[in-house]
Structure 1
Amino acid sequence: MLYHILYPLSKYVTFFNVFGYITVRAATAFVISFILSLVLFPPFIRKMKAWKASQIIRTDGPESHLIKVGTPTMGGLVVIVVAIITMVLCGNLSNLYILVLLFCTISFGIIGMIDDFLKLSKKSSDGLHAKFKLISQIILALIVTLCIYFIMGKSAGEISIPFVKSFKLDISIFYIPFGVFLITGFSNAVNLTDGLDGLAGGLLMLVFATFGLLSYIFGHKEIADYLLVDYLPQASEVLVYCFAMLGGLIGFLWFNSHPADIFMGDTGSLSFGGIIGTIAMMIRQEFLLGIVGGVFVAETLSVIIQVISYKRTGKRVFLMAPLHHHFELKGWHESKIITRFWIIGAILAVVALSSLKLR
């Protein structure tokens, strides 16, 4: 709205010219989303408590989690609403990437919301049937991937390799199943990681901050030429989206930090995981997501390894999966696990950014 209404008026009022600068709109989006989160979360938490819409704690999880009984869930819904409002205010809604991101955010959020509602209504940790949830994710991921594939045009199917200059892996039409795997995989990876107060939220903040910076670099011709990376004109607007999400997540973390007043729920985790997978494709840094989102990858691999090992040998590699539960059972305090995983995430973010020069 600010871009579409106020920026055209800059020929009459010079001040409105600032809304043409993507950095100004990104900063504005961050501030608006952060403030909206701080304003909306307290009444949302009170309402969810009144409705007894609290997180169902698994009885087969760590005993320390039993104290979390009664904590409201579905906090991701507030972040999603805040991000949408912020993008309507600050975003360029004629940018196709932004429209795809809005679709991804809402559609994956709906799957998560249905899952959360079923858990609450059944008073069980079992929500949507796993097969139905996965099929729904795959269908939505396919729609998103096809949109990105056709927006890319002639360069569709080309994948950049981190730390390798002037080489792209062209997988042609196979980019479509690859994209579906990436989006679906990270949607579930964030969901698996969302098991400790502030863990997934903090790691997502690092990913959005990193991808926001990369979006600006790839969407800025002079910087892209200097770093010898692809110039992606539409990618720059993704910076505004990343900062809208970043502000919302920081506001969420204010209430989700240990001990949490509210949980993200599948509404948030499935949506946010799908978003980062989508953004990675938009800026053509699919493999780089495996680095900056390395903790999400490790959490997912721990579950896969645990299941395969138990089915084949009857033995468990970890005390409990996902990985953060393993360290809980080893006696690490929840806050220590969260902080150390954040530190690892921050280091991986720096490594990911360094790939722009170390090639």
Structure 2
Amino acid sequence: MKNILVAAAVALVVSILLTPYLIRVFSRQGFGQEIREEGPDSHKKKRGTPTMGGVAILVAMWAGYLVSHLYSYMVSSSTQADVPISITGLLILFLTTALGLVGFLDDFIKIRKQRNLGLNKTAKLVGQFIATIAFALLAVQFPNRYGYTPASVNLSFVRDVSVISFGAIGFVVFCYGVVSAWSNAVNLTDGLDGLAGGSSAMVLGSYVIISFWQFRWNCATVSSLGCYIVRDPLDVGLVAASAMAGCIGFLWWNAAPAKIFMGDTGSLALGGLVAGLSMVTRTELLMIIIGGLFVVEVVSVGSQIAVFRTTRRRLFRMAPFHHHFELAGWAETTVIIRFWLLAGICCMFGLGLFYSDWLTLTG
């Protein structure tokens, strides 16, 4: 537990201190956000606000994770750290960073070309594809001495659903679908000051709790038929805690009125992170509930497109869903806070479902 607190504390400090430095540097370089012409008129004034702030979240996440391990080695009474660096933790960090790099390129092109379109769809999908395939292929390798690999080829809810197995090739396809869906879902949610950052922090906080519960009832340490078959749950918790604190620190500067945006650098990285966490904790279907706000945003866009193509009429004033309420006259801060509440409710409901399963083991 101390390692999780150290990881969160370090990431929080790094994010809070690094973000204003990035604001100054990006402002000096002219790295300002371009705004959609068809977006709400109230957003026009945000043009030129520094973007690519997701760099702060990524740096804070790595700093929190690595310093927590350094702390573990320093205070350990043996030659082995209490929480060793694991292949599972490194794979999640790799996936998050790789997608952050794709987002960084997207943001950079937008800035250089002075438009709201960066990488074309093909280039972005190829970038996501390469990162995801590498993650998927490696995640089913490296079994530990108990035979647990970082991810499983089975579908999962709060644990593996063993009757539904994708097989090795099917898992790669499934993994690409999950990562692509969540990275784009968080990207769509990142349309108001602090909305994606605050919601992501709640989701990541949920995974800190889930991974810790799994650590307490891991089959590697507990002799029980009903335990959780996961690898390196505590190290996964360190990654989630570092990223959560990184989001909170960034939110200090990103809250309305935002002084910096996370850009695709942050949103694609965070989407990949929550997708990776869902797979290594065996909670892919539960993530749909925990990340319910992101699901609503994606569904709103899909519904808007489907209805318009079939009836030539709009279901919402504008999609994603948060813009609908802006155009209905809600203040931006009102939309953000109420959507944060929705995100919190989804997280609590998802944690409640996981906790009910956990009670059947401990009770």
Q: Is the 8 A contact 1:192 1:299 kept in 2?
A: yes
**Counterpart selection for 1:203 from 199, 208, 215:** 199
CA RMSD of aligned residues (A): 2.2
4+ residue runs of structure 1 moved beyond 6 angstroms? 164-167, 222-227
Deviation at 1:226, TM superposition (A): 8.4
Shift of 1:220: 2.2
In the superposition, relative to structure 1, how do residues 237 and 184 fare at CA in structure 2: closer, same or farther (>3 Å)? same
Q: Which amino acid aligns with 2:192?
A: L
Instruction: Indicate the residue corresponding to 1:171 in structure 2.
Output: 166
Which residue of 2 is the match for residue 251 of structure 1?
249
Pairwise mapping of residues 113-124 of structure 1 onto structure 2 (< 5 A)? 113-124=104-115
CA distance 1:256–1:345, change in 2 (3 Å): same
1:293 is matched with 291
- Once the two structures are superposed, residues 184-215 of structure 1 have per-residue CA deviations (whole angstroms, 9 ceiling, x without a partner) of 11011101100000100011001100011111
- Do 1:76 and 1:264's aligned partners in 2 also have CA atoms closer than 8 Å? yes
Change (3 A) 1:96 1:327: same
5 Å-filtered alignment, 1:1-359, equals 23-91=1-69, 94-151=85-142, 156-162=152-158, 169-173=164-168, 174-221=170-217, 228-358=226-356
Residues 51-96 of structure 1, C-alpha deviations (whole Å, 9 max, x = no match):
1211101111000101212211011011111211222222356300
The one-letter amino acid paired with 1:48 is F
> Greater helix share, 1 or 2?
1
Moved more, 85-94 or 117-126: 85-94
User: Partner letter of residue 191 of structure 1?
Assistant: N
CA positional deviation for 1:286: 0.2
Calculate the TM-score normalised by the size of structure 1: 0.88
Corresponding residue for residue 73 of structure 2: none
Task: Give the whole-Å Cα distance in 2 for the aligned partners of 1:50 and 1:102.
Answer: 30
Cα deviations by residue, 1:304-335 (Å, 9 ceiling, x for unpaired): 11112222221211111111111111111111
Compute the displacement of 1:171 (Å).
3.1
List gaps (5 residues or longer) in structure 2. Answer: 70-82, 358-363
1:159 is paired with a residue of what secondary structure?
strand
Contact 1:145/1:179 (CA < 8 Å) preserved in 2?
yes
Maintained 8 Å contact 2:10/2:67: no
Give the secondary structure class of the aligned counterpart of 2:232: helix
Q: Is the 8 A contact 1:224 1:230 kept in 2?
A: no
Name the CA distance, whole Å, in 2 between partners of 1:338 and 1:310.
Answer: 26
- Give the length in aligned residue pairs: 336
- SS of the equivalent of 1:110 reads helix
Q: Give the drift of 1:161.
A: 2.9
Q: What is the TM-score with the length of structure 2 in the denominator?
A: 0.87
